[in-house]
Structure 1
Amino acid sequence: MESALYLIPCPMGETAKEQVLPSYNTQIVKNIRHFIVESRKAAVRFLVSLDKTFPIDDCTFTELSEHTDQKADLSKLLLPLEKGESMGVISDAGCPCIGDPGSRAVEIAQKKNLRVIPLVGPNSMIMAIMASGFNGQNFAFNGYLPVKNGEREGKIKQLENKVYKEDQTQLFIETPYRNQKMLEAILKTCRPETKLCLAAGITTSEEFIKTKTIAAWKKEKIELKKIPMIFLIYK
């Protein structure tokens, strides 16, 4: 096994790992003892799901999350890797480093010319584009939009303008408990003919992916569940 910083995907929700992860991933992860994680609890739960005998007590876990100080000194974060030991990056769900704090670890690895190897796994952003019917050759992931009323609507309008001017699919996300407010803002702001795809709970038992025009969504009066969701708009 090559010494590297492995980017380790994990299932989204309660999905069985066999449905979304190749067995090759498990073989790689079993040989790693140093992990950079979004949360230790979630990482341990994932590792034990791969192998009930996983030697958790022999592992080191360094948390790198949204709560980590942006100015924190992370220069020693990859010391095991610099000494020739493989390390792994694990997010709480899906692929790490996409809208995820783990990207800071990869940035350091690239600057130090250390090997980075992404493993195959579920990515809700790409899967949402696949299932939306929107332009998959020109798209932009915008992460979280502003939370404040007015600012959020202004950003949505800006993204909608890009859809029409650049023929570009626009994707963004929201904290699950604010899904409904985001939907209401989109319906209030966008043109009736603009298309909106709601992609929620991808690969889980609650999966819901549907595309309609804004005008059609307004007739639905849908109540969104508080689960991870990708919002996509296109023409």
Structure 2
Amino acid sequence: MYIVATPIGNLDDISRRAQQTLRDVAVIAAEDTRHSGRLLQACGIVTPMVSLHEHNEQSRADTLVRRLRDGDSVALISDAGTPLVSDPGYRLVYAAAAAGIRISPIPGPSSVIAALSVAGLPSDRFVFEGFLPAKPGARRKRLEQLTNESRSLVLLESSHRIAAALRDMCAVFGPRRQAVVARELTKLHETVLRGELEVLVTQVEGDADQQRGEFTLVIAGAPESENDGTVGAMDLRTLLAALLEELPPTKAASVAAKLVKRPRREVYALAVELGGAYDR
């Protein structure tokens, strides 16, 4: 079985080895056969396809493993990029490996690696978080869990949530955190925006074109000084919630801002959000 990377935008990025593999196998398992059909047609590949997506992966994996055991070769592709990276396929790979099938990668495009390569942020160590939760509360909670992560963060986001996601990152990580918004990588309208989160929020919200397409985000990790095990690394919401039980919002925000070394205005806004609507 072959795990074949396909272009994330520019069709010329497909390798000769990937094309030959897709021609030679008995069947191609594709996330969306209609979408992948356009790629195969452009490359002159007529290999039969079957669908393999999140809703049918388990049953389809059983069928494909039987074919592999019978001697057929199978290629797995996703809609774009390297399969299994925020895409279905791991159940098939697991089942094939358990059955003793040899599994070979045909490497190639990946939006994660492409974004890291142009970000200009530390890339020797990074964390891939995939897509953030769609609901605002869950998204904010997940970001708070990553506040003190010192490695660069790589995330994916959709066009209709990009502005809200950046606002949440600005509120949780702080407006000065460096980040990169990579949009439509390898495509005609590719753009890469770099800067502090508050600047990126303004740029994206102020330009409708910057809210279209597919996005890969790279966020600088927390400075080591903020992740040294002291009170400065404390979860801001947890700290504020405790302080608000004893202090009015202005005082609670002032104390918390000093402890976690964040702007007082930003911390006060969070204090109000947590329910400290007035000084008592």
Q: TM-score, normalised by structure 1?
A: 0.84
Which AA in structure 1 matches 2:152?
T
Bigger share in helix: 2
Which AA in structure 2 matches 1:65?
H
| Residues 106-143 of structure 1: per-residue CA shift (max 9 Å, x gap) | 12122222111111321010111111122212111111
CA apart distance, 1:55: 3.1
Question: Residue 36 of structure 1 contacts residue 102 of structure 1 at CA under 8 Å; is this kept in 2?
Answer: no
The runs of at least 4 aligned residues of structure 1 exceeding 3 Å deviation read: 71-74, 218-223
Which AA in structure 1 matches 2:56?
T
Equivalent residues in 2 for 1:94-173, closer than 5 Å: 94-162=81-149, 167-173=150-156
Q: TM-score, normalised by structure 2?
A: 0.71
Question: Residue 160 of structure 1 contacts residue 190 of structure 1 at CA under 8 Å; is this kept in 2?
Answer: yes
Matched, 1:55 2:55: no
Structure 2 residue aligned with 1:194, among 153, 173, 177?
177
| Residues 72-108 of structure 1: per-residue CA shift (max 9 Å, x gap) | 5732322222122211111111111111102221121
Percent identical among aligned pairs is 24
Which residue in 2 is equivalent to 1:66?
A: 54
Question: Residue 34 of structure 1 contacts residue 80 of structure 1 at CA under 8 Å; is this kept in 2?
Answer: no
Residues 1:55 and 1:216: Cα distance change in structure 2 (over 3 Å) = closer
Matched, 1:208 2:208: no
Matched, 1:31 2:24: yes
Which AA in structure 2 matches 1:9?
A
Residues 1:218 and 1:90: Cα distance change in structure 2 (over 3 Å) = closer
Counterparts of 1:232 and 1:113, CA distance in 2: 37
Counterparts of 1:134 and 1:155, CA distance in 2: 22
Counterparts of 2:186 and 2:101, CA distance in 1: 32
Superposed CA RMSD: 2.0
Which has the higher relative contact order, 1 or 2, with Cα contacts under 8 A spaced 6 or more apart? Answer: 1
* Higher mean C-alpha deviation, range 216-225 or range 151-160: 216-225
Which AA in structure 2 matches 1:216?
V
Which residue in 1 is equivalent to 2:63?
A: 76
Higher alpha-carbon Rg: 2
Structure 1: which 5+ residue stretches go unaligned? none
Question: Residue 21 of structure 1 contacts residue 120 of structure 1 at CA under 8 Å; is this kept in 2?
Answer: no
Counterparts of 1:23 and 1:138, CA distance in 2: 30
Equivalent residues in 2 for 1:216-231, closer than 5 Å: 216-220=199-203, 221-223=205-207, 224-231=210-217
